[in-house]
Amino acid sequence: MAISGQGKGLLERLAEGVVVGDGGMVMALEKRGYVNGGPWTPEASAEHPEAVKQLHREFLRAGSDVLQTFTHYSSEDKLTRGGRTLSKFTSREINDAACRNAREVADEGGALVAGSITQCPSYWEGKGKAVVQAQIREQLQVFVENKVDFIQAEFFEYVEEMEWAIEEAVKTGLVVSATMAIGEKGDLAKVSPGQCAVRMARAGAKVVGLNCKYDPDTILRTMTAMKEALDAEGLKPYLMTQPNGFHVPGVGRLGYAACPEFPFAMEARVLTRFDVHKYARAAYEMGVRYIGGCCGFEAYHIRAIAEELATERGKWPAASEKHKPWGEDLRLSTADFLRASFFQVSYGAVWLSGRASDSGPGGCEFEPRPVAAMPGRLPRPPAPESRPSLHPPVRHPLPPPPGFLFSVGLADIGHVTYLALEIHTTGPPIRQPSRRKNPKQLEEEDCQVQEMIEA
């Protein structure tokens, strides 16, 4: 694998361009059978290192420039809640193993290792600054011994605790990045996002932002408020976002934990890779330079970030060997109806129609239309003799319509038949029903496609 950027630290990489983060580990490893949902502690780092390394490796292959140690909730006070029933491993054992796992894989692809710390039960139990900092210090000592590249303080819900953590982390001499798990209403003590950002930067974090609990749309709106406050104070930390990979548009301070499907039935809310393209582009446009994901972000979501920003980064992720964006892989499908060059995307209030043609550098015409103009039935594919065939295929970014940040890079995919993509954005908010279509509707739509193929 080509290793670029090796030897460069986080700040150097951020100064040069965009840094792609990794995805969510704790929920992914719960699904794979290595994490106990409920406590969500990371003893798998010591107990099942191969499983943890495999997930690191998938993120690395997908384009992650940073691998975070799998040490979420691994302070001693968290592990011993209820009398050490959760984990047979100590905080030191877990943190030490997690550093080795991340380093081994990071070195395979020139990635950085971030030692990850998070909130401690001691904080909300009211035990005070000295106790909380002692918990964090234990983990930091292990990170320093293992020579992690920087410290990532994440998933703090109170900015006061975050300040204590940053203060302690800065003492290691390592760069500190800091992301809070808050939405537009601010932290659990009702400190506004802007104030949280300013306080994190003043505490010494060189990278400031948000992770977890909310979907990309909410995270980016919250990030906008943070950026405005930082600008107003003349503070210029790098910005970072690692949202969740679930659509949760209407949730409040609890974030995704307030969804009726949380945590074991979230699948119907998962972002598509196309949603992630939109997120990556929007984050980049607003100046975020450290772009990754948290719970629900799988390797293919990370790959979508790396592919969306491939031009800016000057490289494609290794996993793109097996994936061409925008359906281009379908060129090799043996099913006629999937070898498509007709492409439709509905996004919010905009419905884009793409058609391979001889016009334009990429041979694609796109025409935004209001959703109301969406055809009730799928259009027939063009007759075979009228099917355009363009060679070589060229990816071709189109100017987005106003308010539309989806980059469209459709290549000619050979023979024309049909491909329809419906990309569902945020729908009705809170307590919404599952986003899965009801079986009757699904059956009707499938029948329409079937009729069209047979016609």
Q: Which residues bind Zn ion (CB under 5 A)?
A: 212, 294-295
The minimum distance between CB 244 and Zn ion, in angstroms, equals: 6
> Which is closer to Zn ion, CB of 86 or CB of 295?
295
> Which is closer to Zn ion, CB of 34 or CB of 366?
34
Q: Can you list the positions of beta strands (E) in 49-99?
A: 66-68
The minimum distance between CB 336 and Zn ion, in angstroms, equals: 42
DSSP string, 162-210: HHHHHHHHHTTTSEEEEEE--BTTBSTT---HHHHHHHHHHHT-SEEEE
> Which residue is it, tokens 């582009």?
281
| Rounded-to-integer distance, Cα 385 and Cα 211, Å | 51
> Which is closer to Zn ion, CB of 212 or CB of 248?
212
> Which is closer to Zn ion, CB of 74 or CB of 344?
74
| Rounded-to-integer distance, Cα 80 and Cα 84, Å | 4
The minimum distance between CB 24 and Zn ion, in angstroms, equals: 5
Report the sign of the C-alpha dihedral through residues 337, 320, 293, 368, in that order.
negative
| Rounded-to-integer distance, Cα 313 and Cα 126, Å | 45
The minimum distance between CB 242 and Zn ion, in angstroms, equals: 8
The minimum distance between CB 380 and Zn ion, in angstroms, equals: 45
Phi, psi of 226 (to 5 degrees): -65, -45
The minimum distance between CB 300 and Zn ion, in angstroms, equals: 17
> Which is closer to Zn ion, CB of 211 or CB of 417?
211
The minimum distance between CB 71 and Zn ion, in angstroms, equals: 14
> Which is closer to Zn ion, CB of 280 or CB of 295?
295
CB-facing half-sphere around the CA of 168: CA atoms within 13 A: 25
Phi, psi of 363 (to 5 degrees): 70, 30
The minimum distance between CB 4 and Zn ion, in angstroms, equals: 28
Length of the chain: 455
> Which is closer to Zn ion, CB of 295 or CB of 364?
295
Q: Which of 152, 162, 154, 233 has its CA nearest to residue 203? A: 162
> Which is closer to Zn ion, CB of 29 or CB of 398?
29
**Torsional class of 280: left (φ above 0), alpha (ψ -120 to 50), beta (otherwise):** alpha
> Which is closer to Zn ion, CB of 238 or CB of 246?
246
The minimum distance between CB 27 and Zn ion, in angstroms, equals: 7
| Rounded-to-integer distance, Cα 422 and Cα 352, Å | 10
> Which is closer to Zn ion, CB of 46 or CB of 219?
219
| Rounded-to-integer distance, Cα 214 and Cα 196, Å | 17
| Rounded-to-integer distance, Cα 187 and Cα 181, Å | 8
CA distance to 141, 313, 345, per residue, from 319 (Å): 35, 15, 24
The minimum distance between CB 165 and Zn ion, in angstroms, equals: 17
| Rounded-to-integer distance, Cα 383 and Cα 374, Å | 21
